[in-house]
Structure 1
Amino acid sequence: MIRRLLVANRGEIARRIFATCRGLGVETVAVHSDADRDAPFVAEADLAVRLPGNTPAETYLRIEEILAAARRAGADAVHPGYGFLAENAEFAAAVADAGLTWVGPKAKAIAAMGDKSAAKALLADAGVPVLPTWIDGDQVTGFPVLVKASAGGGGRGMRIVRDAAGLAEAVASARREAAVAFGDGTVFIEPYVERGRHVEVQIFGDTHGMVVALGERDCSIQRRHQKIVEEAPAVMEPELRARLHAAAVAAGRAVEYVGAGTVEFLLTPAGEFFFLEMNTRLQVEHPVTEAVSGLDLVRLQLLVAEGEPLPLAAAPPTDGHAIEVRLCAEDPAQGFRPATGVLHRFAVPGVSGEFAPTRGLRLDSGVTDGSTVSVHYDSMLAKLVAWAPTRAEAARALAGALARAELHGVATNRDLLVRVLRSREFGAVEVDTGFLDRHPDVFVPLLPADQLPVVALAAALASAAGRRAEVRVLAAVPSGWRNVPAYPQVSRFTAPDGGEIEVRYRLDRTGRLAEWSTAGRAGGAAPAAAPDALAGMDADGTPDGQPPAVTLVEAAPDRVVLDVAGVRRAFRVHRVGPEVFVDGPDGAAALTELPRFPLPTAELAVGSLLAPLPGAVARVHVAVGQRVAAGDLLLTLEAMKLEHPVLAPADGVVAELPVPAGGQVDTGTVLAVVDPEEDNR
């Protein structure tokens, strides 16, 4: 039996495995990079071993370092989690050769499925339907096509190509990204099916020859080929489900599969299905299967690794419906670019359980209040799962919990997830892998632009209340009260889009809001303070004696209640230094209060392009003095396992390239300067 288990991974999956181990009485060992030394998963392990360095290549991808950690900690088994070395046959073999128990499939099965193009050929011989595969771009017979990494998953190394002109660059880019993420830059090409659904089957095998299907999941809602919403069971006809399960079991038997695995299929609108790949590990989305089956898949993994037979010969009947979302550190205002920083508050209301099968709302997170989201790893912060008797109830409960969550300090994709769950099309099961491309409305922030002035007013009143609570003289005088009404209180904030919004307000002697107004300067795609019927309203009412538009009900440092046009609205306010996080009934906003007397700063040269996040300059595609057109690729920044193109903002000439290829940069570093061409018309 396994006595002490080392988890060769990090974040929420390490915490998930540790949770099951605690219930079984198995001791746990964490390995961690320097960047992760204070992470929650390290604190929760019984023992922890440092892997010197920060990047995956220095730490979580080093087989010898992990085996040495297992020896030092006295572990007798290794669980790879998912990602990193989870689907590395060499690692699985090395663990076994070291005399340790490997919690996963045999190395030969991992190798057979690890080369996705070879896996398709193998399973085609086993009778599983597959799409054509091309290794060389010259072999492609039609478009659109999908370029895919042969190793790994998670959407990395994948590119849709719709014509021959873009194929060569897509293949080269996919190879680079796959090499960074998985240490293997091999890619292949297959036809891209429009409006296809991504449905996968959870299989489990044991060392006694049993392979069973434990249900399926629909993972069709994807962004950049990465799943963001998953659900179980998939909505489909029983006959199609039976055929899918049979094909998945056939795939498992073809490689004598042991442990947890997932066979992924593409369903066409015509009802056909084709094998995509087999993930020889536990999937990120396994909690939805646990929710509807009542099984603990990590527990089954450990039992099978110990040589026990599977305790079931077929999938148990499903109960209810479960939906999972992946909450990621991404900045919607910057095209969902991965975000970094300190997570000042991470609170989700109504959670009924963590890291284990549960009814209601389940949270599996790799972060807590105060966690630092670094540039070195994947952007996923947590998975939130809702179980309910019906699909509609699960979607509503999940959307409600997400909308009310307090996520402060790091930008996230929360609003996108809520919009998807509340969309008519999702409710009607009109989903496929192109869902987000067809529904740009789901990318609109939850907080309407015309509500930002009221949110900024709440932030200003809360900040004033906080300052007032700290004063030692004239404490009875309301903050914001002015003896001369011509001079109101003024607060200025940076808005979520990078623009500015100015709030002017005045309180009377009783603390009543006498008047208020806002003005703004746009900094992005939307104005910082969009025109709205509330901005500029006089709190005393309109000249014809109508009731007050905005009445201050309560103002405390952490809570402001306003009566807006007869509707009372409560705002939760959390301040960290100059940052003010406001959560209200219509959505959330992160504002930064600007100093009244800002210090002078160095002026950037016109045409300066700044690093949006910390990373490394992977390639420089232009030279100083080169003429470029708007949209031309200047250089590529590599961060959080992804490539981020830096494009010319306008026609001009490259004046400076201060950072060479391979150079490390912080947020705000000047990457290039493009002198814009003068318009002489």
Structure 2
Amino acid sequence: MKKILIANRGEIAGRVSEACAALGITSVAVHTEEDAGALHVALADEAVRLDPTPSGTPYLDATALIDVAVDAGADAIHPGYGFLSESADFAQRVEERGLVFIGPRAETLATLGDKVSARSAAIDAGVPVVPGSGGPVGGPVQVIEFGDTHGWPVLVKAAHGGGGRGMRVVRAASEVDAAWQAAGREALAAFGDGTLFVERYIESARHVEVQVIADTHGNVVAVGDRDCSVQRRHQKLIEEAPAAGVAPRVREAMAEAAVRLCRAAGYRGVGTVEFLLEGEEFWFLEVNGRIQVEHPVTELVTGVDLVAEQIRIAFGQELSITSTPQPRGHAIQVRVNAEDPGRGFLPVPGRIEKLEVPQRVGVRFDAGYRGGDTVSPRFDSLIGKLIVWATDRDQAIRRLLRAIDSTDITGVPTTLPAATVVLSSEEFACSDVTTRWFEMQIEPGLASSGGTSSATVAEDGGDGRWVEVAGQVIRIPRAGGIRGGTAAQRPRTRMNRGPAGPGAAAQPGEVRSPMAGTVLAVHVREGDQVESGDPLLTLEAMKMENVVRAAAPATVATLHVETNAIVEGGSLLVTVSPRTD
């Protein structure tokens, strides 16, 4: 165990390098020409540049990654999360070249990495599952048949991958075709596989997951659980450990179910079994056969270095623990993404002018970028993860709010103001949050018609705090609850001032791009008549799709872009003529 190649980039690549250093192992980073000066490259002991690929994503080029590892003299490959981390084919090919794949065996990934076969494995292990299709879905017709049989809404999901990519909620048969096309495109772009399946969508559930580690000596241990219910677009925004307000017998039952499933599947390594929880009833959601983005909160409450554990297991060592550790205190993590909460969380690539995080007791920042780095539109928007630990949940919330207030990020907007609203809410304080809560209760209050990308958090000097998002000022009293303020009342500003907007202001009849990205689809032709809310184009940036819609009834006069065009923020996309009928 002397050298490990890290087949990833960003925050997780840096995290693996740190674990390698702690274990006395040489780390090898890979990078594109664009990433040559990235933080994960600086943190590694060695670095190798990947050649461009026709797909534009060298981090998905299995052959090149394995060749680089062999040439570098690596003993193993760590895939991180995303990209090829749950690819059974990649794991198999790594082992065939005489290298160690730091993750589950290929046959286990084939079973649990595929969400359809993972459901079957859960059923066989006696774990309750949400009603879903018995296999991959071949097209929109089968989705409609499932919805008519089991009831609407349903969830169309990528069979491979995770992180909220390739998922669409469908509430009626009329929405199926568009959702099907969008989910398939997104899954293919993110994971190289557009296979989809469908399951019943449970709207009022919490998202609770169990961290599991398993070695090759027959030991399988549930390390603890996490609550990840604060989500938008099926992507997690805030995670905490342990999950609050879960009855002890339910917590124990979920842990036992997770261990039972992993033991039956012959699991090896670090993995997460995800559940939906409603009251005291829970259902299996999926298995993530990799390290999770939110793993730090479990590390902080258990003292277990999960990445180091993952590496030791891959090289045949036994687990360092033999039973579920009793959590110590409480930990909460906020994902810091380069997204604009005031414009529907649009990804905003660009240069980070300043990035300063307070160095305090109980505060940890797992960074993917530094001040001066540029967030690329070709990858996801995660800048880093702000994590705190405290002796109890209330203290952890207060500590995290103070850490956010003291964080200084300029150049791009981030999701931190939205996190402040969540952390200051009475519902979050009471753990009264489901996976739909943020989108239903919080996100509408963040929306702004101003279109500015600025965002600010500050204390008001009295009994509350202010959050300004896209020109809208929201006051959050200390006791919880949200109410509006006026711009004239705005206090001192300290954090997260982003660019003023996406570019040239739209003139009457002009539809301009809200962000830099790629045109994935054009839904209209010149001369078409559209109604308010009708889709005009679909843009992709940072592995996420965003639909540009008509603001009012109009006739499409001129299309200024075509499919696969790369556009800048503010670029003219469509010219329309107003209709008065």
TM-score (norm 1): 0.76
Q: Which residue of 1 aligns with 2:226?
A: 217
Separation in structure 2 between the aligned mates of residue 56 and residue 240 of structure 1, nearest angstrom:
45
Higher RCO, 1 vs 2 (CA within 8 Å, ≥6 residues apart): 2
Q: Which residue of 1 aligns with 2:208?
A: 199
Does the CA contact (< 8 Å) of 2:343 and 2:447 recur in 1?
Answer: no
Q: Which amino acid aligns with 2:368?
A: G
Q: For residues 368-408 of structure 1, give each alpha carbon's deviation from its aligned partner in whole angstroms, at most 9, with x where no partner exists.
A: 11010110111111111111000010011011111221110
Q: Which residue of 2 aligns with 1:655?
A: 557
Separation in structure 2 between the aligned mates of residue 43 and residue 122 of structure 1, nearest angstrom:
41
Q: Which amino acid aligns with 1:178?
A: A
Separation in structure 2 between the aligned mates of residue 152 and residue 267 of structure 1, nearest angstrom:
22
Deviation (angstroms), 1:143: 1.4
Deviation (angstroms), 1:650: 2.2
Q: How does 1:579-618 map to 2 (within 5 A)?
A: 582-583=493-494, 589-590=497-498, 606-618=508-520
Separation in structure 1 between the aligned mates of residue 383 and residue 182 of structure 2, nearest angstrom:
26
Q: Which residue of 2 aligns with 1:288?
A: 297
Q: For residues 484-538 of structure 1, give each alpha carbon's deviation from its aligned partner in whole angstroms, at most 9, with x where no partner exists.
A: xxxxxxxxxxx97489xxxxxxxxxxxxxxxxxxxxxxxxxxx9x956479xxxx
Deviation (angstroms), 1:13: 0.4
Separation in structure 2 between the aligned mates of residue 218 and residue 13 of structure 1, nearest angstrom:
21
- Residue 369 to residue 201, structure 1, CA distance change in 2 (3 Å): same
Deviation (angstroms), 1:602: 9.6
Deviation (angstroms), 1:622: 1.0
Q: How does 1:238-277 map to 2 (within 5 A)?
A: 238-269=248-279, 271-277=280-286
Confirm or deny that 1:620 pairs with 2:522. yes
Q: Which residue of 2 aligns with 1:463?
A: none
Q: For residues 563-599 of structure 1, give each alpha carbon's deviation from its aligned partner in whole angstroms, at most 9, with x where no partner exists.
A: xxxxxx8x5xxxxxxxxxx51xxx6655769xxxxxx
SS of corresponding position for 1:318: coil
Q: Which residue of 1 aligns with 2:436?
A: 434
Q: Which residue of 1 aligns with 2:319?
A: 310
- Residue 674 to residue 615, structure 1, CA distance change in 2 (3 Å): same
Q: Which residue of 1 aligns with 2:89?
A: 90
Q: Which residue of 2 aligns with 1:34?
A: 33
Separation in structure 1 between the aligned mates of residue 115 and residue 320 of structure 2, nearest angstrom:
31
Q: How does 1:90-239 map to 2 (within 5 A)?
A: 90-134=89-133, 135=137, 136-137=142-143, 138-140=145-147, 141=149, 142-235=151-244, 236-239=246-249
Q: For residues 277-299 of structure 1, give each alpha carbon's deviation from its aligned partner in whole angstroms, at most 9, with x where no partner exists.
A: 00000111110110010011111
Q: Which residue of 2 aligns with 1:392?
A: 394
SS of corresponding position for 2:325: coil
Deviation (angstroms), 1:651: 1.9
Does the CA contact (< 8 Å) of 2:505 and 2:570 recur in 1?
Answer: no
Separation in structure 2 between the aligned mates of residue 196 and residue 346 of structure 1, nearest angstrom:
35
Separation in structure 1 between the aligned mates of residue 331 and residue 116 of structure 2, nearest angstrom:
32
Q: Which amino acid aligns with 2:384?
A: A
Separation in structure 2 between the aligned mates of residue 444 and residue 4 of structure 1, nearest angstrom:
46
Q: Which residue of 1 aligns with 2:462?
A: none
Q: Which amino acid aligns with 1:614?
A: A
Q: Percent of pairs identical after alignment?
A: 46
Q: Which residue of 2 aligns with 1:510?
A: none
Separation in structure 1 between the aligned mates of residue 332 and residue 54 of structure 2, nearest angstrom:
32
Deviation (angstroms), 1:201: 0.6
- Residue 588 to residue 67, structure 1, CA distance change in 2 (3 Å): closer
Q: How does 1:234-633 map to 2 (within 5 A)?
A: 234-235=243-244, 236-269=246-279, 271-352=280-361, 360-440=362-442, 443-444=445-446, 497=470, 532=488, 582-583=493-494, 589-590=497-498, 606-633=508-535
Separation in structure 1 between the aligned mates of residue 574 and residue 436 of structure 2, nearest angstrom:
34
Separation in structure 1 between the aligned mates of residue 360 and residue 84 of structure 2, nearest angstrom:
31
Separation in structure 1 between the aligned mates of residue 500 and residue 537 of structure 2, nearest angstrom:
30
Separation in structure 2 between the aligned mates of residue 280 and residue 40 of structure 1, nearest angstrom:
26
SS of corresponding position for 2:188: helix
Pair member with larger Rg: 1
SS of corresponding position for 2:296: helix
Does the CA contact (< 8 Å) of 1:203 and 1:248 recur in 2?
Answer: yes
Q: For residues 152-198 of structure 1, give each alpha carbon's deviation from its aligned partner in whole angstroms, at most 9, with x where no partner exists.
A: 11111112222232233222221121111111111111111121011
Q: For residues 402-442 of structure 1, give each alpha carbon's deviation from its aligned partner in whole angstroms, at most 9, with x where no partner exists.
A: 12211100011111101111111111111111111342378
SS of corresponding position for 1:220: strand
SS of corresponding position for 2:514: coil
Residue-pair matches, total:
542
Q: For residues 20-75 of structure 1, give each alpha carbon's deviation from its aligned partner in whole angstroms, at most 9, with x where no partner exists.
A: 11111100100111221111111121111111238975310000110121122221
Separation in structure 2 between the aligned mates of residue 301 and residue 291 of structure 1, nearest angstrom:
16
Deviation (angstroms), 1:445: 9.1
Deviation (angstroms), 1:264: 0.5
Deviation (angstroms), 1:6: 0.5
Does the CA contact (< 8 Å) of 1:52 and 1:58 recur in 2?
Answer: no
Separation in structure 1 between the aligned mates of residue 265 and residue 11 of structure 2, nearest angstrom:
29
Q: Which residue of 2 aligns with 1:3?
A: 2
**Where does the alignment leave 5 or more consecutive residues of structure 2 unmatched?**
449-453, 458-467, 473-483
Q: Which residue of 1 aligns with 2:46?
A: 47
Separation in structure 2 between the aligned mates of residue 205 and residue 591 of structure 1, nearest angstrom:
46
Separation in structure 2 between the aligned mates of residue 320 and residue 267 of structure 1, nearest angstrom:
22
Does the CA contact (< 8 Å) of 1:156 and 1:181 recur in 2?
Answer: yes
Separation in structure 1 between the aligned mates of residue 375 and residue 445 of structure 2, nearest angstrom:
23
Q: For residues 112-154 of structure 1, give each alpha carbon's deviation from its aligned partner in whole angstroms, at most 9, with x where no partner exists.
A: 0122112111220111111111242113321122221111111
**Where does the alignment leave 5 or more consecutive residues of structure 1 unmatched?**
353-359, 447-451, 456-494, 500-526, 535-568, 572-581, 594-600
- Residue 164 to residue 278, structure 1, CA distance change in 2 (3 Å): same
Separation in structure 2 between the aligned mates of residue 380 and residue 663 of structure 1, nearest angstrom:
24
Q: Which amino acid aligns with 1:651?
A: P
- Residue 648 to residue 204, structure 1, CA distance change in 2 (3 Å): same
How well do the aligned residues superpose, as a CA RMSD in angstroms?
Answer: 2.6
Deviation (angstroms), 1:614: 2.2
Separation in structure 2 between the aligned mates of residue 438 and residue 399 of structure 1, nearest angstrom:
22
SS of corresponding position for 2:262: helix
Deviation (angstroms), 1:661: 1.0
Separation in structure 2 between the aligned mates of residue 406 and residue 339 of structure 1, nearest angstrom:
17
Separation in structure 2 between the aligned mates of residue 234 and residue 606 of structure 1, nearest angstrom:
50
Does the CA contact (< 8 Å) of 1:144 and 1:162 recur in 2?
Answer: yes
Does the CA contact (< 8 Å) of 1:322 and 1:388 recur in 2?
Answer: yes
Separation in structure 1 between the aligned mates of residue 176 and residue 504 of structure 2, nearest angstrom:
43
SS of corresponding position for 2:58: coil
Q: Compare 614-623 and 244-253 and name the one that shifted more.
A: 614-623
Does the CA contact (< 8 Å) of 2:231 and 2:439 recur in 1?
Answer: no
